[in-house]
Chain A
Amino acid sequence: MAVISGCFSYSAFHFPLPSCSTPSSRLSVSRIRLSASMNSSDELRAKLMEFPHVSAPHRDLMVELLSSVETRLGSSLQPCILPPDVQRFENPAGTASASLQLRPGLPSSQIDLILGGWIHCKLPSGGALNITSLSGYLKASTDAPHFLLDLIQGSPTSLVLILDLSPRKDLILHPNHLKTYYEDTQLDRHRQRLHTLPEVRPYFSPSLGVRALLSPTAIIVTIDVGTSETTNIEEIIRDHVGPVAKELLQFWIESCACPERHVEESEMAYLAERDRIIKNTAIEVDLGSSFPRLFGQDVADRVLTFLKEYYNK
């Protein structure tokens, strides 16, 4: 889920591909073609997959990430459970639109849900705000981290990137969790890699709740090319953000979502409660404040109510 207050984008997707798990191979995906059995919900989903408002490298990245999820995890996921008017919505003026997809995991799966989407909003200044996002939440039957990705672009020369494997436990009380998922894996090398770029600096979310839920290796940065003539945002997405995002997603799929963990009964209640708070924080912070502004109160209420009810059932 997007975890920047001010705007969010959900890239919802649903590939009309056969649902089968393929062992770790990265698919090269350009555009997804639609099957002959396409109906209106497929159309909706296909349209979402097109990421109509962002640059080519940005779109390519999102498509590739979503394809990875579909290919590797699709057989563990149910179809999208959002009603059509929550999958796709606009503000009354037609200047803001969004697409969302939420696919729950099958009962047998460790995956709680995959949420993706995008938001596009024309700005009064003449530009546009675009947010694309992908999150993967796991169930309390595993203590492996969740996956979060948000790209928030409010100008052609500046992008906020949040990319994290967010912790399921208090890292102080559970140093083993820190060691297993963050130290031994040398996860910090991805953050360090991006921070070597002169265009990159840390971003401080206005929400303390968001800062608190991110891991110590979280990539939470502003990428600003300014008036640079040597590079642009698209190149940075293609050459740096993309590779890091794909590696982290790959790691999450292989080492977090798929491997079975045997969590004690006593621990499951702890994880479940913590996860509930994380998901609600993401909604409150991300959607709660900006959705009414972007989409008007009615649309915002409809979407937020549905998501909150789903998260808290």
Chain B
Amino acid sequence: MAMISGGFSYSALRLRLPSCSIPSSRLPVSRTRSSGSSASMDSGDELRQKYMEFPYVSGPHRDLMVELLSSVETRLGSSLQPCTLPPHVRHFGNPAGTAYACIQLRHGLPSSQIDFILGGWIHSKLPSGGALNITSLSGYLNSSTDAPNFRLELIQSIPTSLILVLDLTPRKDLILHPHHLKTYYEDTLLDRYRQRLHMLPEVSPYISPSLYVRAAVSPTAILVSIDVGAGETTNIEEIIRDHVGPVAKELLQFWIESCACTERRVGEPETAYLAERDRIIKNKTIELDLGSSFPRLFGQDVADRVLTVLKEHYNK
């Protein structure tokens, strides 16, 4: 879920691909066409199909989100239940019609290590004339595993600047559990992705106004502002295509293979510890992240309706 106060984006998706796991191979994905739909597609599906197209963001940004969501669907689809969010939570907007959002939330099957996958986007026209666009993908694992969660957000409010949050967020206190730090963050050389992006002159660290967000992310978190300024040498779309994209895809791949799919046999009392910590994280996200931005973007009524449902789903 978006963890930057000020803007969130949920890329709701629903791919009309068969739900089956394919072993680690990366599928080339371009556009998901809405044609060839099954006979059972109704207007709700059409709507959702439309929104899978990430209508408000640039080509490379859209392509990246589609590819990431496809990976999730392909590799994890067989472990996920269909989205059970009611239509008014899957797609909603403010009364003035200047802000829209799309969310999809798929719970893991009871046998799976996945708690749920959440994706979506938000688009909001700004008074200045521009628009705020947020696209997001998160993967939460349940307490049968201690592997990290996955989090991605791209937040863009002007054409020349983007905030990127990309992290495998820890499930445990890394001080008290140095083994967790070693296993998932040191031995994996995860920091090389952060280092790679920081080599770009357009990239600088983004310090979240929320202390909670700063505390929740891992030591290898990519939390950056990408600013091309008046540069003529490059633009945001190129940076997404050439740098953000490859890193995001590799990290998602790593998460799918080594976190979501790798079986961990976590016993008590660790399960209780993880469950409590996860509960706090999920509820903080709703309270701090969505709880502050949704009312601003969509009005109190819409925000309340949506957040009530999400809160139920988060705490299932």
Contacts and interface: CB of A to CB of B under 8 A. Distances in A.
B310 interface: no
Given A208-B219, A212-B219, A172 B277 contact: yes
Interface in B138-194: 173-176, 178, 181, 185-186, 191, 194
A274 B176 contact: yes
Interface string A260-296: 0000000000100110011001000000000000000
A188 B211 CA distance: 9
B220 interface: yes
A183 B215 CA distance: 12
B191 A173 contact: no
Interface of B: 173-176, 178, 181, 185-186, 191, 194, 198, 204-205, 207, 211-212, 214-216, 219-220, 276-277, 280-281, 284
A164 to B, nearest CB: 13
Contact of B175 (A175, A183, A274): A274
Contacts of A277: 175-176, 178
A275 B176 CA distance: 9
A178 interface: yes
B214 A208 contact: no
A202 B214 CA distance: 14
Given A172-B277, A172-B280, A277-B176, A208 B181 contact: yes
Where chain A touches its partner, the secondary structure class is: helix
Contact of B214 (A173, A201, A209, A216): A216
Interface in A198-215: 201-202, 204, 208-209, 211-213, 215
B181 A209 contact: yes
A277 B207 CA distance: 27
A217 interface: yes
A16 to B, nearest CB: 37
A171 interface: yes
Contacts of A175: 212, 280, 284
Can you list the 9 inter-chain pairs with the closest CB atoms, starting with the nearest? A170-B173, A216-B214, A211-B219, A171-B215, A212-B174, A216-B211, A208-B219, A216-B215, A202-B205
A274 B212 CA distance: 20
Nearest to B210: A216
Contacts of B207: 195, 202
A273 B205 CA distance: 32
6 contacts: A170-B175, A172-B216, A178-B215, A216-B211, A274-B175, A281-B178
A173 to B, nearest CB: 6
A204 B216 CA distance: 17
B178 A209 contact: yes
A183 B220 contact: no
A278 B280 contact: no
B3 to A, nearest CB: 12
Contacts of B284: 172, 175
A251 interface: no
Contacts of B175: 170, 212-213, 274, 277-278, 281
Contacts of A201: 204
Nearest to A280: B178
A37 to B, nearest CB: 43
A208 B185 contact: yes
Contact of B276 (A173, A183, A209, A216): A173
Contacts of A209: 174, 178, 181
Nearest to A169: B173
Contacts of A274: 173, 175-176
Nearest to B190: A208
B292 to A, nearest CB: 15
A121 B297 CA distance: 56
B215 A212 contact: no
A170 B176 contact: yes
A172 B186 CA distance: 21
B170 to A, nearest CB: 8
B173 A172 contact: yes
Contacts of A217: 211
A281 to B, nearest CB: 8
Interface in A25-79: none
A178 B219 contact: no
A170 B278 CA distance: 13
B219 A173 contact: no
A215 B280 CA distance: 19
A183 B178 CA distance: 26
Q: Counting chain A CB atoms within 10 Å of each CB, which of B214, B220, B277 scores highest?
A: B214
Interface string A164-206: 0000001111010010001100001000000100000110100
A4 to B, nearest CB: 15
A277 B176 CA distance: 7
B4 to A, nearest CB: 14
Q: Counting chain A CB atoms within 10 Å of each CB, which of B178, B215, B276 scores highest?
A: B215
